[in-house]
Amino acid sequence: MKPPVGEKAETVADRDVLIIDDEASVGELLEQYSMQYGWRAESAVSQYDGLDMLARNHHDLVFLDIVMPGMNVLDMISRIREISVGSEIILMSGRIHDERFISAIKILGIYGFVKKPFSIENLSHFLADDIHGGRSTGSSNPRKDDLKLKE
């Protein structure tokens, strides 16, 4: 659940999120929403800018749009893992709804998947969770099923 307007959720130190999406408006929206949950947030509109940001600063969580100009998503996931060891990746897409794809990304160890257009409520389950500490830091207590792959 989203904190009341003007209030921040309990903050856990050193939580950084990076949003990589070629639609600037998506990145801006996710930045604002992430900050309400105590995350330091930034966004990139290209894969290469995102990789540069990861090289400069570790991010605990990366929201990655699957369909973007540049390298394919598997290569991008590989590069993220090389540059920022330990970053959890949540894939986003408005075009991919194939159940086989969803099953395949589980094998890759992807932390989550969110269909676009996404609901803020679905995103709050990821943002309210202390992804490395295993405890909820937001005002709600997400169900375990909500913390993994969103379909």
Domain ranges of the chain: 16-147
Say which CATH superfamily domain 16-147 falls into: Response regulator (3.40.50.2300)
Question: Helices in the chain by DSSP H: which ranges?
Answer: 24-36, 47-56, 73-83, 99-107, 120-127
For the chain, the average pLDDT equals 78
pLDDT digits (tens, 9 = 90+) for 64-100: 999 899 999 889 999 999 999 999 999 998 876 667 7
Task: End-to-end CA distance of the chain: give it in Å, rounded.
Answer: 19
Euclidean distance between CA atoms 40 and 86, whole angstroms:
17
Percent of the chain scoring above 90 in pLDDT: 46
pLDDT at 145 over 70: no
More confident call, 80 vs 9: 80
